[in-house]
Amino acid sequence: MDLKGLLLRMLSIYSPSHGEAELAGFLLGVVREAADEAWTDGAGNVVAVKGRGAPVTWLHAHMDTVVGPLEVRDEGDVVRGRGAVDDKGPLAAYVEAFSSARPSGTLVLTLVTAEEDDSAGTEELLRGGPPRPDYIYVGEPTDLHVAYAYRGGGKVELSVGTRGGHASSPIYGNPFEELYAAYLKVKELLKPGGRYEDFSVMPTVVRCGDAPNKVPVECTAVLDVRIPPGHSCRELERLLEGLPARVRSCTDPAETSPTNPAARALVRGLLKVGVEPKLSRKYGTADFNLLISLTKNIVAFGPGDPSLAHTEDEAIRVRDVETAAQALRYAVEELGRWGVKSR
Ligand SMILES: [Zn+2]
């Protein structure tokens, strides 16, 4: 398969979360040739299966991107466009690995929707569908590192309401200051910091007031909170009790052993293609956090500089996509030889 051609074609089809149908239709056509069976499910995921019996290995990547189309550019060794890093570079590598690998056992390709939003695609796969996995590779831009841990995360909504009033009157309180005080209280409770082991707290959407001469009726702030290992969404909710705060769409942190068989097979694959294997833990939150409920034999892996994800400068080296595809192919073939192993 012409991997660069595939990648450019995928980039030319804009696919924000819940708008992946056109890309899914295209990819179904691509993977059908290499699969015994391929279909789209109720959540719009593309699922392809080849081989039979144990072990069952999933290659999982997401088709959606954050919003904001970017011009698709072919600069030779590098291609640019929305999603080049997150997640179309990894996605292309996973499609190629699925198409070229000949493992014993069952190989399943799961290309999902809405990872950047509510993970509707992966939630559908957790409920059923293709054969249950013994091993999972999650396609994310890890710069070819083997990622075995993700922090959790949730959105904390702060909200302070008043009855409004004339901005010049001294009888009213100041809802903006109340909102800010609540934000400071959240920081005091969570003690955010820059280390992996710390919480992080970032105000993302802040709204207050609707007229220049009126006391704001409502002030709200959304805080993007990341949760380190050893802590949980329930704990976050408990900590914020008594504040004008609500925790929404929260995902617990997820961590597995860096020596689980999926990790070990990939390390061997990387050595085979001449890449020095490196382990990493991710500061964000991904479908990894959900898929770990299916098996602890899981790692995230893919080409692309994660610091470019979601930026206006998304770009990826074609050679890294090819390298990732080859390492993955070796890894799934190795797992086929190992059969079903626990760590
Ligand atoms: Zn992603």
pLDDT digits (tens, 9 = 90+) for 76-119: 999 999 999 999 999 999 999 999 999 899 999 999 999 998 89
In the set 20, 64, 305, 333, the catalytic residue is 64
The rounded percent of the chain whose pLDDT value lies above 70 is: 99
**Measured on CA atoms in the order 268, 269, 270, 273, is the torsion positive or negative?**
positive
91 CA → ligand 1 middle, Å: 10
In the set 20, 96, 115, 124, the catalytic residue is 115
Q: Which of 39, 2, 40 is nearest to 21 (CA)?
A: 40
Contact between residue 276 and residue 145 where contact means Cβ atoms under 8 Å apart: no
Topology adopted by domain 3-150+254-338: Aminopeptidase (3.40.630)
138 CA → ligand 1 middle, Å: 9
Active site residue 20: no
> What Rg do the C-alpha atoms of the chain give, in angstroms?
22
Retrieve residue 208's tokens.
């207050």
- 3-150+254-338 and 152-251 have identical folds: no
Class of domain 152-251: alpha beta
Active site residue 64: yes
Which residues sit with Cβ closer than 5 angstroms to ligand 1, an ion?
86-87, 140
Domain regions of the chain by residue span: 3-150+254-338, 152-251
pLDDT digits (tens, 9 = 90+) for 116-134: 988 999 999 999 999 999 9
pLDDT digits (tens, 9 = 90+) for 222-281: 999 999 999 999 999 999 999 999 999 899 999 999 999 999 999 999 999 999 999 999
